[in-house]
Amino acid sequence: MFLKAPGQQSFKNPPHVLIIGAGSRGSAYASATRSSTNAVIAAVAEPIEYKRIEFGKKFIWGAEEPKPEQQFSDWKQWVKFEETRRQRERAGEKVEKGIDAVFVCVLDEMHEEVVCGIAPLGVHICVEKPLSTSLESCMAIYRSLKGEDEKRESLSNGQVDGEVNGNGKAKETVFGICHVLRYSPHNMMLRQLVLEREVIGDILSIEHVEPVGWWHFSHSYVSRGNWRKESTTAASLLTKSCHDIDFIMWMLCSPPPNTSTEPHLPSFLTSTGSRKFFRKERKPKAAGDATNCLSCPHEQDCDYSAKKIYLENQLKYGNTGWPVKIVNPEIEECYKSFGIEAASEKLLDNLREDYSPKTPLKDIESRPWFGRCVWESDNDVCDDQCVTITWDDDPISNDEDGRPVLKGRGAKTAQFHMVAFTDKICQRRGRIYGTKGEIEYDSSSIKIHDFSTGYTKVHHPHSAGGGHGGGDEGLARQFLMAVEAVDNQGMLAADAQRKFLGCDLDEAFRSHAMVFAAEEARKERKVVDWKKWWQDQVEQQLQQR
């Protein structure tokens, strides 16, 4: 029987959820929460008033006026409110129900500040990927969350004061990371076939590709995107493809479910990649000195024309969601109220926005310019990158006749390719090579070829709705099931993490560390010894604090 995702969950005491960040990902997890559970989206923290109100009307207060506990201008305002609410509750005052779980969906570079800021409140936390934008920042989050675990353990032993649950014990918390590829029906079936059913025997190697999409990359990672510059966000391998590195680690490093086997840790890794196309040297001659598409003589002949991408290929077909809404979050309301012509002109106004040689550099770098020429940008992230990870055999032992025998897991190799210049957008594909067969997969099918029989069997896993092939909904559901099990069923947080999420903080942190190690390998053009790198860059640093 194949693993099947649970249906919509109806909790007797539904968790109350706060969304920090009302952008596209915050809205995605709010929608996924409502479609997969009866959990209550109770509050939103968002500095941009229009986005906060739009989110609140859609997910929280509807046509009613918002209550004070339902909206906050930022996460700090919510923390102050929650601290005061708890003080009032301890004083015997009847208070509104507090927040049980938080989805952190702010900009990547804000994750450390937010997570470390709310961790002492003892709420369950699920963080949008990536965990943070540097190894040091990820370690700060790791220390903060681990430190709160230690405080709760001390509280259970009566050593410190703090929040307790109904049994008088320290409240344990669940941690989730939005590595949503783990939770799509497609990938859950793929992992079950490979690791539990072992349909192709022992894995020898895997090739995995993330096709970002030619115009998607220009929208998010070049002149027009929030993730275009490593110094202000992070490398594209982290911001775009930490999903995929985690997927590979999930398939080849993490043990199968319901086993006590230790992770099979990698041995070596290396990486190559660069910004191959989106640089000034590749700018078409006909474009001249233009820095904006709407003032460029080459615009009509340019594949990357912002006018074509956002207006002609999206808005004119009625799409007011992503990516058009990223350019102007008010475009949907304008389209509904005043029609296509007014919405088009509003969009074009945004695309005309440009800078001059006199514009301060900090002002240019502080925001995306959605009409900017893709060859006249300050972007520096890779648009094509490969990562190779290798594993050695588990220790070889001798049998009763003295012959060497591999009783554990064998050597294997993973090759990952992130490429911008594709027709498909984020529809992952790959091949897995085993001792007994071969698997070819894309986002809709899994083909298994058996060497012995010569037969190829094709599976078409259930294609769930929502983002990432149902991964968004699956992650939200599993996280909240873990939350409910800890809060209402008395399950230990570690047990709930493993049962419902299949991933804990250590595993999530290890996947991110792999990305940072790969970036070090790429920049320094070297092969990284994983165990030595982990000892030097992670363990020693954690021990110093």
Kindly report which listed range (1-15, 123-137, 479-493, 518-532) carries the lowest average pLDDT score: 1-15
pLDDT at residue 469 greater than cutoff 90: no
Q: How far apart are CA 47 and CA 35, in angstroms?
A: 26
Q: How far apart are CA 85 and CA 69, in angstroms?
A: 10
pLDDT at residue 460 greater than cutoff 70: yes
Q: What are phi and psi of 13, to 5 degrees?
A: -120, 85
Mean pLDDT of 69-79: 97
Residue-level length of the chain? 545
Angle at 82 between CA 80 and CA 87, to 5 degrees: 95
Number of helices followed by number of strands (H, E) in the chain:
19, 17
Angle at 179 between CA 481 and CA 251, to 5 degrees: 100
Mean pLDDT of 362-379: 90
Side-chain half-sphere exposure of 506, counting CA atoms within 13 A:
12
Only one residue has tokens 């502080």, namely: 366
Angle at 423 between CA 418 and CA 426, to 5 degrees: 45
Q: At what angle do helices 111-118 and 135-156 cross, to 10 degrees?
A: 10
Domain at 202-278+379-434: CATH code: 3.30.360.10
- Helix/strand/coil (H/E/C) assignment for every residue in 77-103: HHHHHHHHHHHHHHCCCCCCCCCCEEE
334-368 residue pLDDT tens: 999 999 999 999 999 999 999 888 889 888 888 88
pLDDT at residue 455 greater than cutoff 70: yes
Same fold, 16-178+471-504 and 202-278+379-434: no
Confidence of residue 218 (pLDDT cuts 50, 70, 90): very high
4-39 residue pLDDT tens: 566 789 999 999 999 999 999 999 999 999 999 999
pLDDT computed for residue 4 by the predictor:
58
Confidence of residue 466 (pLDDT cuts 50, 70, 90): low
- Helix/strand/coil (H/E/C) assignment for every residue in 99-147: CCEEEECCCHHHHHHHHHHHHHHCCEEEECCCCCCCHHHHHHHHHHHHH
CATH superfamily membership of 16-178+471-504: NAD(P)-binding Rossmann-like Domain (3.40.50.720)
DSSP string over 290-338:
--BGGG-TTGGG-TT-HIIIIIITTGGGT--STTHHHH-TTHHHHHHHH
The 10 Å Cβ neighbour count of residue 526 is: 11
Q: With CA atoms as reference, report the closest residue to 104 among 202, 1, 29.
A: 29
Residue boundaries of the structural domains of the chain: 16-178+471-504, 202-278+379-434, 280-365
Q: At what angle do helices 24-36 and 471-489 cross, to 10 degrees?
A: 60
Joined tokens for residue 327:
């350019």
Mean pLDDT of 317-328: 94
Quick check: 239 and 383 in contact, CB under 8 A?
Answer: no
SS3 430: strand
236-293 residue pLDDT tens: 999 999 999 999 999 999 988 777 788 999 999 999 999 999 999 999 999 999 999 9
Query: Which H/E stretch holds residue 389?
Result: strand 384-391
Q: How far apart are CA 513 and CA 531, in angstroms?
A: 12
Q: How far apart are CA 495 and CA 481, in angstroms?
A: 12
